[in-house]
Amino acid sequence: MATSELHPYSKTGGLADMVAALAKTLAQKGHRVGIVTPLYRGIRVKFPELRPFDWQMALPLGGEIIPAQVWTTEPVKGLTLYFVDRPEFFDRPGIYNENGADYADNAARFIFFSKAAVHLARYLPWAPQILHIHDWQTGLVPMLVQHQRLAEGWGKAVPVMLTIHNLAYQGVFGAEAFALANLPSDWFNTGTAEFHGALNLLKAGIATADTITTVSPRYAREIMTEEFGCGLDGLLRHRAEVVHGVLNGVDYEEWNTEANPHLKFRYSARHLAGKTRNKTALQRELGLPVNARVPMFGSVTRLAEQKGVDLLVPALEEMLGHSMQFVLLGSGDGRYEHSLRSVARRHPQKVAVRFGYDHGLSHRIEAACDFLLMPSRFEPCGLNQMYSLRYGTVPIVRATGGLDDSVVDPSENKQEATGIKFSEYSPAALTQALRKALALYRSKPALRKFRQQGMAADFSWDATAARYVRLYDGLLK
């Protein structure tokens, strides 16, 4: 596999969790898995077990030859990680951006990374049979593989699977960046990497990968429509035969309430008292009035347009007259930070917000809250709602993508309901869902049933990994 993020080494979102968990599950099932990922700043300090790999790489990147080192470690048997070490590209404070601005050389950084992944796939002595790539950062890989097969004697070139974690991020650069790929210039055309005159790395991947997956069945259908297709719906319809929607799983070794180093109090579906204690502990931590009985809503999210912060703020304004608390952990766009801070300033007894990336706090919020809000405009899979279910926290979600696939609303199945869904993308629709949540909170037996149903739901990786294995098998035939 090749990925630009890998939990616990680097992460901005669900991509990091998905690749780590899929790879671990495959390895546990007896497959041999390698993951190629960049060596970002701080990884070697935090993970001193990384060893230098006896490997010299010097790869062309446009007119230059760029050397890189590789570091390696084997976190579980059968899984080897290969960290591509090129300080000029990856020893920086951010992964993709800094102070809100994308790094100007992202095309060079990730085209180089893609080349390193192909190089390892080709020359590693254990000869991987398939290369599974993720998102735009590795989108050029299938073309690089194809070129090495046709022009550079790689007779047994690997088939390539692309997983799209989010179609909204495509890696679009000026057309001149295609020269960094060192591919024949006529390979840059509208059937491959060219998109309205620009270089589009995700498009290259979609056009040329052997198989494509995305992270939920509903999102797989949505991205073939104009509304969700981000300009690539036509191409995706054209490739529909090789596009599969596979709902991500959850790593329950990491996301559980019974043995979790991030939680002060353990609890289970049968013994929920610990959940309430986590709630009062969080109230203390965030400086909110300590009250076990007040309904607590929460959100852990990237602050991006996708995530529906522009619904959240007006809906909160509308609802904060009620007895409730709201806590949020977010990182991203400063505009949203500003509006959330302003809500918190005006309602210090009810709202607490924290900005930045904090893994431990994300667990504590999931555990403490009664309800978790995900009013996303679109959501390829979404992991937090599945974490919430396991944590006995009722998700309130917009019925889109993986949110729709993983949460059951009472209107769909009264007996098996696990959450509250709304459809229209509007503050009024979210407000109405929040009202439903408050009503549910008042009815203790109903709330208990939602929680128990959610905590029993099983999104473990076993079934999901088995699905990937079937798709890999298909590629090898």
Q: Which of residues 361-400 bind ligand ADP (CB under 6 A)?
A: 362, 381-384
| By CB under 6 A, residue 170 contacts ligand ADP | no
Measured in whole angstroms, the distance separating CA 246 from the mean position of its chain's CA atoms is 14
Nearer to ligand ADP, 162 or 383 (CB): 383
Beta-carbon count within 10 A of 292 CB: 12
Residue with tokens 């180089």: 112
CB of 383 to ligand ADP, least distance (A): 4
Nearer to ligand ADP, 139 or 330 (CB): 330
| By CB under 6 A, residue 329 contacts ligand ADP | yes
Residue whose beta carbon is closest to ligand ADP: 14
DSSP 8-state code for residue 197 = T
Contact 327, 365 (CB under 8 A): yes
Contact 329, 365 (CB under 8 A): yes
DSSP 8-state code for residue 10 = B
| By CB under 6 A, residue 94 contacts ligand ADP | no
CB of 373 to ligand ADP, least distance (A): 12
Among 4, 14, 27, 163, binds ligand ADP (CB under 6 A): 14
Beta-carbon count within 10 A of 154 CB: 17
Q: Interface with ligand ADP by CB under 6 A: which range of 36-44, 270-278, 294-302, 333-341?
A: 294-302
Q: In what order do the strands lie in the sheet with 420-422?
A: 351-355, 325-332, 296-303, 371-374, 394-398, 420-422
| By CB under 6 A, residue 224 contacts ligand ADP | no
Strand pairing report for 64-76 and 57-61: antiparallel
Q: Interface with ligand ADP by CB under 6 A: which range of 51-59, 65-73, 351-359, 444-452?
A: 351-359
| By CB under 6 A, residue 13 contacts ligand ADP | yes
**Whole-angstrom distance, CA of residue 126 vs CA of residue 395:** 44
Q: Which of residues 103-162 bind ligand ADP (CB under 6 A)?
A: none
Residue with tokens 């610990």: 274
How many Cα atoms sit within 13 Å of 385 on the Cβ side?
Answer: 30
**Whole-angstrom distance, CA of residue 142 vs CA of residue 139:** 7
Q: Which two tokens stand for residue 280?
A: 């009062």
Q: Interface with ligand ADP by CB under 6 A: which range of 9-17, 98-106, 258-266, 469-477?
A: 9-17
| By CB under 6 A, residue 357 contacts ligand ADP | yes
Q: Interface with ligand ADP by CB under 6 A: which range of 188-196, 264-272, 283-291, 298-306?
A: 298-306
Residues in contact with ligand ADP by CB under 6 A are 13-14, 17, 300-302, 329-331, 357-359, 362, 381-384
